[in-house]
Structure 1
Amino acid sequence: MSIPTTPINSPYKKTSTLVSVPAYVNASPSRLQSLYSDFSRKKQSDPASYQANIEWWRKSLENYVYDGHQRSHRLVLQAEKTLVDNYRIERVGKPIGLGAVVAELVTPPSPSSLPVLFPVATFLSLPNSIYSSKSKPSYLAAVPKFVLSYVVAKPLWWALEQVGVVGEDSLASSISSVFSSSSTSKSDTTWYGDYVFLDLLERAGENVLEKQAVKATTASDALYTFEGFRQEFSDCFGSTDGATNSMMSELDMKVLLEYLERDKEAIVVDAGIVKFLGTVGLMERDSEITAVDRGILELKTAVEGLHTQVDGIHKRIEQRTSEASEALRQKRKGLAMSYLRSRKQLEDLLTKRLGALDNLEGTLIRVEAAAGDVEILKSYSTSTTTLRAILSHPSLQRDSIEKTMEAMAEATADAKEIDQAMRIGGDVALGVDDVVDDTEIEAELAGLIRDAEQHAKGQQEEKELKDLRTRMEELNAPSNMETSQPRPESTREAVAAQ
């Protein structure tokens, strides 16, 4: 018997020479045998293997939704026959333990944690934030009944079998078989339904808020219709590989809006209008949708509609021009004239639409400016009220200020007295008899200065006397030389006499 081959364009890939699996399945053939079996009993007999299988299925189902293999929702898992069929693998079959997987993922791992999956109906009906402790009882009360079969009843019957309380020959065997075979039965559809992947929802919510924070500059940027919201934020979801339609589904939008409004408190939704809260510049947005918001959104929608019309008219004009050229090329003058007349009419319509667009855009800018001025004046008023409230505090009254300053001066003087007393006490403790008077120190310093000056003056006088003696000696030196050497005339006279 020949083994069927997988087409090149198939969403399946080969993991071995014998088994072809979908792209969102990543496991060896031997591993698939365990994953596709009814492993719910392993929760008690082999908890490590059970948790490993549950974690594998969590990642696989999350990738299945994230990558758009459902063709519609990218936040909500549609647990139904189509899901089971899409996971069918040749030579392995269909997964028969998906009911137990869904039941496990719907159940919170601990009282303080959140489940991986939320039933859509339960998620949308919770009155409080899913992160609030008040939501825990409401969620547990709304857990689908089939969860009890997988999470409570089956492990209980397994434990009873182990201790021999129940068994094949017992009267309770018929009851036990209901639970033990519920997940393997092909007719079991109690776990079918729509479930929100919390992790995907949180990621999508963060992406939406980040994108909105970048573009929010005016009042109209914070307002959307449902259709405008879907068009603007459809690219904030995960991968679109394999998805034929990247537009956000209505169910995804409903879940996302509920999450952003109730759990993140980032938006307000009312009568088909979505308003992002927060601030624009220094202005705080109202936490409700006002008549001004509705008017601004209507203008914004009209401007967007006119932009769409203008783009469409431009395309039609280009089409008429191309058709007229083609008609002339075929020497069909009458048809070409018809196309040109149609183009002329479209050009006139374009002129009117552009005029209307200019008027509406100008009006929208003025309305946004006026709304901004109102918010600024509200900020001024709030600041003034706050400042007056602070200044009216009793501690800032003149009498109170004077009393406070006087008390501070007295406290400072007391501190100086205490410091001086502590210094005197310290001197006494160190054996110092008396405190040295500053006048005595100054007199002693003056005496030292006088001594230094007299010493310097004496040295100066001695130096001057020495210099004087040196100059006197220099002046007396030529006289001595004249008396010791005879004059030339006397010498000649003595020689002649001889």
Structure 2
Amino acid sequence: MSPISTARLASLETYATSSTSRLKSLYSDFSLQKQSNPTSYASNVEWWRKTFESVVLKGWTSQSHAQPAYPDRLVLHANGPLLADEFRLEGVGKPLSLATVVAELCSSKAYFSVTEFLNSARSPLWWALQQLNVVSSEDAVLGHGGDRERWKRVRGDYVVLSLLESAAEKVLERQRNKSGRSLADSLYDMEDFRREFAGHALNDAVLSDLDLKILIKFLERDKRVIIVQREVIKFVDADSSQPAEITVVDAGILELKCAVEKLHAQVDTLQQKIDQRLLQASMALKQKRKELALSHLRARKQLEDVLKKRLGSLDLLQSTLLRVEASAGDVEIMKSYESSTATLRAILAHPSLQRDKIDETMDAMASANADAREVDDAIRMGADMAQMETGIDESELEAELAALVKESESETTAQAQAGEDEQELAALQAFHERLGDLRSPLNNPVVSAEKPQPGSVKQSVKT
């Protein structure tokens, strides 16, 4: 079993960002660090978790059986010491703690045994498996006997939960984005499911048959977004209160859907053959092989007759499928009507909504409102009487208020007038200062070098 090439390992982010000394530490036996240096231990396990995830996603890990058409993208094949050999790195060696890492990842529920995952009726709980002594992380991590002894406890195939969850989300997103979302769009057989989702669940990767089995099990049991019955797969609403089931109608619609898809494929194939025959006839004519050209044209004519029949059958099946879907939709609508009617009747049957109870409640409300008005009137009358007893004359209060308002207005007017006076005084002072700057020639013997412009003095005085 050949190791992963150094170039491939170097292309991984975990390797590209790690120094040689760091890699030597990661490749060493750090099993006992869980007790002596838990921080370093946790960091090493996390590094290997990311590395395993990248390697599995790229399909680089070997398998115990013959290589299929597509490698597994959701499963880590922990084939004992052979897995360590795959990660052998020149100048560093091979990792000595992979069994410890696998055990720790199982303990933290990041990995699940493929066998247990597929056979469990309920969502796997790894701690329950530990209690049954199927896997004990402490024994695998701290057990005696070295790496080979540890591998005896954890050797096997494991579902990588992070990759599985990512694939499930991509499948659900693709299903939600389907236009129309008719009943037929929610029904698949295994081949349709593989064709629709195997190449779109993970980026640039195609899921293997084992991956699809794991994915379908996860969507059915853990996510509860599909139900499976024999070869029929149906997407359902996980939040629906109605029990999910595959009915005879579902099976019939799926059968019609598959027939339509097969006819579409036949029509495409026939059209390709017709085009090919026409091309062959043209080439035969260019080669002056008239009989061969006629043979191709006759074959083309026969193919066109078959195509015409297939198109007629396709139209009939498509219209039948549409009518069946419409009828099934009508059934669902009537069920919703019935459920809504039952809910409304249950609400109206409540004792609080009976006619006598309603009349009684409304009378009580009217009586309570009347009592509230009486209390309010009594409080208002009491306040008026209290004011009268204090001897306060309302007219005197109003006159005093008017006087205060008038006084306030007078103060405002006086302040405005004072402001105007201050502005006039400032302007007058400025004028006198400018007059003071003008000097008579008799009093000032110094003659300016520049001749004053005519009218400048008059203009200043005017100013």
Equivalent residue, structure 1, for 2:418? none
Q: Does 1:32 align with 2:31?
A: no
Equivalent residue, structure 2, for 1:122? 116
Equivalent residue, structure 2, for 1:80? 79
Label 1:308 to 1:189 Cα distance change in 2 as closer, same or farther (>3 A): farther
Equivalent residue, structure 2, for 1:482? none
1:332 CA drift (Å): 3.8
Q: Work out the percentage of aligned pairs sharing the same amino acid.
A: 49
Q: Matches of residues 133-212 of structure 1 in structure 2 within 5 Å?
A: 135=125, 138-141=128-131, 144-145=134-135, 147-151=137-141, 153-154=142-143, 179-181=144-146, 183=147, 188-212=151-175
Unaligned runs of 5+ in 2: 62-69, 396-463
Q: Matches of residues 442-453 of structure 1 in structure 2 within 5 Å?
A: none
Partners of 2:260 and 2:317 within 8 A in 1: yes
Q: Does 1:433 align with 2:376?
A: no
Q: Does 1:53 align with 2:44?
A: yes
Equivalent residue, structure 1, for 2:263? 306
Map Cα deviations across residues 454-479 of structure 1 (whole Å, 9 max, x no partner): xxxxxxxxxxxxxxxxxxxxxxxxxx
1:271 CA drift (Å): 0.8
One-letter amino acid of the structure 2 residue matched with residue 62 of structure 1? E
Return the alpha-carbon distance in structure 1 between the equivalents of residues 132 and 184 of structure 2.
Answer: 39
| Structure 1 residue matching 2:154: 3-state secondary structure | coil
Equivalent residue, structure 2, for 1:270? 229
Label 1:142 to 1:232 Cα distance change in 2 as closer, same or farther (>3 A): farther
Partners of 1:97 and 1:184 within 8 A in 2: no
Q: Matches of residues 290-301 of structure 1 in structure 2 within 5 Å?
A: 290-301=247-258
How large is the RMSD of aligned CA atoms in angstroms? 3.1
Q: Does 1:214 align with 2:177?
A: yes
Return the alpha-carbon distance in structure 1 between the equivalents of residues 85 and 268 of structure 2.
Answer: 44
Equivalent residue, structure 1, for 2:459? none
Equivalent residue, structure 2, for 1:496? none
1:188 CA drift (Å): 4.2
Return the alpha-carbon distance in structure 1 between the equivalents of residues 391 and 359 of structure 2.
Answer: 38
Q: TM-score, normalised by structure 2?
A: 0.74
1:189 CA drift (Å): 4.9
1:285 CA drift (Å): 7.4
Return the alpha-carbon distance in structure 1 between the equivalents of residues 21 and 7 of structure 2.
Answer: 16
Equivalent residue, structure 2, for 1:362? 319
Label 1:278 to 1:420 Cα distance change in 2 as closer, same or farther (>3 A): same
1:128 CA drift (Å): 2.9
Q: Matches of residues 366-381 of structure 1 in structure 2 within 5 Å?
A: 366-381=323-338
Q: Matches of residues 326-341 of structure 1 in structure 2 within 5 Å?
A: 326-341=283-298
Q: Does 1:261 align with 2:261?
A: no
Partners of 2:107 and 2:126 within 8 A in 1: no
Return the alpha-carbon distance in structure 1 between the equivalents of residues 164 and 196 of structure 2.
Answer: 17
Q: TM-score, normalised by structure 1?
A: 0.69
Larger radius of gyration: 1
Partners of 1:105 and 1:117 within 8 A in 2: yes
Label 1:397 to 1:146 Cα distance change in 2 as closer, same or farther (>3 A): closer
Label 1:331 to 1:78 Cα distance change in 2 as closer, same or farther (>3 A): farther
1:376 CA drift (Å): 1.0
Equivalent residue, structure 2, for 1:100? 100
Partners of 2:75 and 2:211 within 8 A in 1: yes
For structure 1, which segment, 335-344 or 213-222, has the greater mean C-alpha deviation from structure 2 after superposition?
A: 335-344
| Structure 1 residue matching 2:389: 3-state secondary structure | coil
Partners of 2:107 and 2:127 within 8 A in 1: no
Map Cα deviations across residues 364-416 of structure 1 (whole Å, 9 max, x no partner): 00100111111111111111222222222222121111111111111111222
